[in-house]
Amino acid sequence: MSNRMLSALLASAALLLPAMGEAQSLRVAHTNAADEVQDMGLQKMNEILAEKTGGAVSLEDFPGGQLGDEQQITESVMLGSLDMAMVSNAMLSNYVSEYKVFDMPFLFPTIDGLGDKIDANFDLMQEDANAAGFQLIAVFSSGIRNLMTSEPVNSIDDLEGMKIRTMQNPVHVAAFRDYGANPTPMSYSELYGALQSGVVDGAEGASTGYDGMKFYEVAPNYALVGWLNMAAPIVMQKSAFDALPEDVQADLMEAGHESAIWQRQYVIDQEAPLLEKFEELGVNITRPDLEPFKAASKPLYESELTTDGQKALYSALTAE
Spatial contact of 74 and 92, defined as CB atoms under 8 Å apart: yes
What's the rounded Cα separation, in Å, for the pair 1 and 62? 46
Q: Tell me how far apart the alpha carbons of residues 59 and 84 are, in angstroms, rounded to a whole number.
A: 9
Contact 230, 142 (CB under 8 A): yes
Can you give the pLDDT at residue 16? Answer: 40
Decide if pLDDT at 2 tops 60: no
- Mean pLDDT, range 141-151, rounded to an integer: 96
Evaluated on CA atoms 209, 32, 191, 193, the torsion sign reads positive
Amino acid 209 reads G
* pLDDT in the model for residue 19: 43
Per-residue pLDDT averaged across 197-213, rounded? 94
Domain residue spans of the chain: 25-318
How much is the mean pLDDT over the chain? 92
DSSP-derived secondary structure letter, 199: S
Mean pLDDT in residue range 165-169: 90
Percent of residues, the chain, with pLDDT higher than 70? 93
Which class in CATH covers the domain with range 25-318? alpha beta
Q: Is 266 exposed, middle or buried (0-12, 13-18, 19+ CB in 10 A)?
A: buried
d(CA 41, CA 26): 15
Band of residue 5 on the pLDDT scale cut at 50, 70, 90 = very low
Q: What is the mean pLDDT of residues 222-243?
A: 97
The conformation of residue 112, written as its DSSP 8-state character, comes to: H
CA-based angle 193:195:197, to the nearest 5? 65
CB 161 within 8 A of CB 181: yes
The pLDDT tens digits of the residues spanning 296-316 come to 999 999 999 999 999 999 999
DSSP E strands, 239-309 = 284-286
What local confidence, expressed as pLDDT, does residue 250 receive?
98
pLDDT score of 11: 37
What is the structure's pLDDT at 22?
Answer: 72
- pLDDT beyond 80 at 80: yes
Q: Is the pLDDT of residue 142 over 90?
A: yes
- 2 sits in the region (left: phi over 0; alpha: psi -120 to 50; else beta) called beta
Residues 130 and 237 sit within 8 Å (Cβ to Cβ): no
Q: What is the pLDDT of residue 21?
A: 53
pLDDT at 18: 44
As a residue count, the chain comes to 320
Residue 267, classed as helix, strand or coil, is: helix
